[in-house]
Amino acid sequence: MSIYVFSTLILSIIFLFVFNTWWAGTAPFKMHLAGMVIIATTAFSALLMLAVYPLLRHRPLLRNTTPGFDRRAWGINVSSLLATPAAVIEGYTVIFANNAFLAELGMQGISDQILGMPLTNVIHPGDHQTLAALLASPEHDKKSTQRLRLLCLDGSILPVHISASPISEAPDNEQLLLQFSAVSAHDTPGASFREQFPYHLLVNQIEQVVFQVDTAQNILFLNPSWQGLLDFNVEDCLQKPLLSFIHPEDKPLVEARLHSLIQGKRSRCLLEARVISKNGDSHWVELRARNTSSVKGERSSVVGTLTDISHSKQAEASLRTNRRSLSMLINNAPCMIYRCKNDRNWSFEFVSDGCAEVTGYEAHEMINNLSFSYVEIIHPEDRETAWQHVQEKIAMQDKFQLVYRIITRAGHIKWVWEQGKGVYSSAGELLALEGFIAHISDDDAPTGLIADIQQLIQSQPIPGGQ
């Protein structure tokens, strides 16, 4: 205001100098009268401004206050520029939500489902009172941080820290800028792990790798065993995605399991995967993990362990190779290798492919087939002798050897040689019979062998026989 008064005085002085030159001349009376009116008007204006100035000093806020619409536009502009989740509310109604907030809720591209709606629609019912207390708190308390849970579009629950800041200092202002931060992102990396596991010194000594990842699957904590397994420095790996250390072929499975844990869709998981070391070698590990929330459906970080199982995997591969070799040998052997029950049918639990060459029957026809009985294809004259001989040897837990005749599927009679023994439990209980049956032909046997076998069979006494 002082600049206006000063300008008025300067102009008045200049005018007086000009008027004085006119006054000294032969100007007519009307000119003199006009000059007097101008001087009086100027003086009156100066006095009026000096009188009104004190009254105008008490209204600076009223003149400088931005209209409500401008405050709203300013709040929306500020929140849209924030990289962290933010929203502007008026009362309880959401009038703006930035992209980061929509992304956390899973509502990208469908902001109409939240704009103009009550904020309580996306707040867990159990936290409505917490939100009400925050919004009802005095101005100086609204900048404090509160923890509550957001309801995401996919049904998961996201724990966050929320702070509220008034957009304007005006008494009638109802617009607030809300800022959100995920709980795992809000805490210092590794702090939540140490809070849940105070015995971190013990954790640092175990052989298994102990890890924690946040809701973005970035590493928050690793114990020293990580470096021992993969040769990566622990500090260099923090805040990096755990998936960057997983073998490409195993990434989809690991990512899916971790995602389900983070979203609260499952509480724990167990799987086997390969991790890549610093020198490029892969190591098989057993990954055990669980989420850190006790509430089903709540989004949270994940803790777990990695156990090196490379040696056991190598042993399994070697065992599979041995089994494959053994299976090949068994199925290519010119005899019938079997495992059967000690019942009156000698019901087979397993027979090798050589059964077709010996009996004419395929393996699938003989295994666990109630309509097939091996005893029935033994020559009627040899059935009881064979049965009694096997039972005697079993009673003594000794192996048995016998020669008898069978009737093949084609109706031919063959001489066969069988050798086997009983399989017993630790308590001495008979579990099964295992052995092999081979065909004996005149071409394969030395001269007179078949006749000697026939004489041996005929001379074998039959206990309890006639």
Residues 303 and 214: their CA atoms lie apart, in Å, by 9
Average pLDDT on 304-320 reads 90
pLDDT exceeds 80 at position 179: yes
Helices (H), 269-422: 310-332, 355-359, 363-366, 374-377, 383-395
Residues 129 and 241 in one domain: no
Does a structural domain hold residue 367? yes
Residues 337 and 454 in one domain: yes
Pairing of the two strands 348-351 and 268-276: unpaired
pLDDT in tens, 19-28: 666 555 555 6
Average pLDDT on 105-114 reads 83
Does a structural domain hold residue 245? yes
Closest to 216 (Cα-Cα) out of 383, 351, 125, 103: 103
pLDDT in tens, 260-308: 999 888 889 999 999 999 999 999 999 999 998 877 777 888 999 999 9
pLDDT exceeds 60 at position 204: yes
For residue 99, report the phi and psi dihedrals to the nearest 5 degrees.
-65, -35
Q: CATH code at 374?
A: 3.30.450.20
pLDDT bin (cut points 50, 70, 90) of residue 158 is confident
Residues 432 and 343: their CA atoms lie apart, in Å, by 10
Residues 441 and 372 in one domain: yes
Instruction: Select the more confidently predicted residue: 44 or 68.
Output: 44
For 193-229, give the secondary structure using H, E and C. Answer: HHHHCCCHHHHCCCCCEEEEECCCCEEEEECCHHHHH
Residues 109 and 31 in one domain: no
Q: What is the dihedral of CA 306, 311, 317, 318, to 10 degrees?
A: -170
Domain holding 107, by residue range, is: 71-186
Beta carbons of 273 and 243 less than 8 angstroms apart? no
Tokens standing for residue 8: 């008025």
Average pLDDT on 375-400 reads 94
Residues 338 and 446 in one domain: yes
Residues 90 and 23 in one domain: no
pLDDT exceeds 60 at position 447: no
Residues 40 and 114 in one domain: no
Residues 91 and 52 in one domain: no
Chain-centroid distance of CA 259 in Å reads: 3
Residues 270 and 171 in one domain: no
Least confident of 14-28, 71-85, 173-187: 14-28
Domain count for the chain: 4
Instruction: Select the more confidently predicted residue: 7 or 324.
Output: 324
Does a structural domain hold residue 465? no
pLDDT exceeds 50 at position 60: no
pLDDT exceeds 70 at position 259: yes
Q: Give the sheet arrangement for strand 336-340, strand by strand.
A: 348-351, 336-340, 430-440, 413-424, 400-407
Closest to 209 (Cα-Cα) out of 292, 308, 309: 308
3-state DSSP assignment of residue 430 = strand
Find the angle CA(341)-CA(343)-CA(345) to the nearest 5 degrees: 95
Does a structural domain hold residue 145? yes
Q: What is the dihedral of CA 443, 444, 450, 452, to 10 degrees?
A: 130
3-state DSSP assignment of residue 50 = helix
pLDDT exceeds 80 at position 80: no
pLDDT bin (cut points 50, 70, 90) of residue 188 is very low
Instruction: Select the more confidently predicted residue: 177 or 48.
Output: 177
Residues 75 and 60 in one domain: no
Domain closes at, from 64, 87, 109: 64
Domain closes at, from 132, 163, 186: 186
Pairing of the two strands 93-97 and 209-213: unpaired
pLDDT exceeds 70 at position 69: no
pLDDT at 438: 93
In the chain, the largest separation of any two C-alpha atoms, in whole Å, equals 178
Residues 342 and 450 in one domain: yes
Task: Mention every residue, 6+ apart, whose C-beta is less than 8 A from residue 178.
Answer: 86, 87, 88, 89, 119, 162, 163, 164
pLDDT at 5: 61
pLDDT at 143: 59
pLDDT exceeds 70 at position 197: no
Instruction: Select the more confidently predicted residue: 316 or 463.
Output: 316
Q: What share of the chain is helix, strand, coil (3-state, %, to 5)?
A: 45, 25, 30
pLDDT exceeds 50 at position 346: yes
Average pLDDT on 186-197 reads 49
pLDDT exceeds 90 at position 163: no
Residues 195 and 175 in one domain: no
On average, the pLDDT of the chain sits at 80
Beta carbons of 402 and 389 less than 8 angstroms apart? yes
Does a structural domain hold residue 326? no
Task: Mention every residue, 6+ apart, whose C-beta is less than 8 A from residue 17.
Answer: none
Does a structural domain hold residue 321? no
Residues 424 and 38: their CA atoms lie apart, in Å, by 133
